[in-house]
Structure 1
Amino acid sequence: MSLKESNAWYTQLQDQCEYPSNQVFSKVLFKDNNSQHNLICIATGINMAEHSTNRNAIITVISGKGTLVLKGEPVILEPGVFVSMPSGTRHALKSEENLAFLLIFSENS
């Protein structure tokens, strides 16, 4: 069975990245009843104020650099970093270089 004959697909994440100034680029790559996979791209110098989400979240950094403040502790975001945040976790973010990461939301267990 070829990819065209199934629901399977693939993409090169770097090719999907966009860094608009003064805003966050978010693109849903995959969504089903249990999870949502988003590509998030944040241009250099953007600050995201402290916030939380009502779902569990996983961050996997693809490229760039930034700082995530997670429950008051700084976490350096750079390629290869993996972060798990249970639902309701307070966090803020600052991009220091064009930052791209995969953000996966899942339902609370």
Structure 2
Amino acid sequence: MATTYTRITDLASQAEPPEDGILSRTLYNDERVKAVVFGFGAGQELSEHTASMPAVVQFLKGEAALTLGDDTIDARPGTWVRMPAGLRHAVRARTPAVMLLLLLKGWPGGLPDRSGSGLVSA
């Protein structure tokens, strides 16, 4: 029996940042997770908001300011953040940027916080 799976070989290319504006594209959606990739033009912003479910963001390309509650961090390729439901957050692209968003629909409370040595969990 064949196994069904979803494969994307170049995730960052799924949402090339526009010169002006924000592009979003849903890559996957089922009862447990929704994967959306965003392309931000330099200077573009997702204003502060909250989500009703836990989420994970990973930056794939470019640089951005990521506001999480009262903190603002520099986000670069490789930055990975788990956010609990209800956390105020915003994104402002400093350069053209690509970000992956995973909305965790099927896990009560989202992924457990299993921070290990060298990881920051605020």
Q: TM-score, normalised by structure 1?
A: 0.86
Matched with 2:30 is: 32
Q: Deviations over 1:17-44 (max 9, x none)?
A: 2223443211111111111011111110
Letter in 2 for 1:46: Q
Following superposition, the deviation at residue 60 of structure 1 comes to: 0.9
Letter in 1 for 2:100: L
Structure 1 spans left out of the alignment, 5+ residues: none
Matched with 1:74 is: 72
**Counterpart-to-counterpart distance in 1, 2:6 and 2:71:** 37
**Identity of paired residues, percent?**
25
Following superposition, the deviation at residue 66 of structure 1 comes to: 0.4
After alignment, is 90-99 or 17-26 more displaced? 17-26
Matched with 1:93 is: 91
Q: Deviations over 1:64-107 (max 9, x none)?
A: 00001111111111011111111111012210011111100012
**Counterpart-to-counterpart distance in 1, 2:82 and 2:12:** 22
Matches within 5 A, 1:1-109: 7-11=4-8, 12-107=10-105, 109=108
Letter in 1 for 2:104: S
Following superposition, the deviation at residue 16 of structure 1 comes to: 1.5
Structure 2 spans left out of the alignment, 5+ residues: 109-122
Runs of 4+, deviation exceeding 6 Å: none
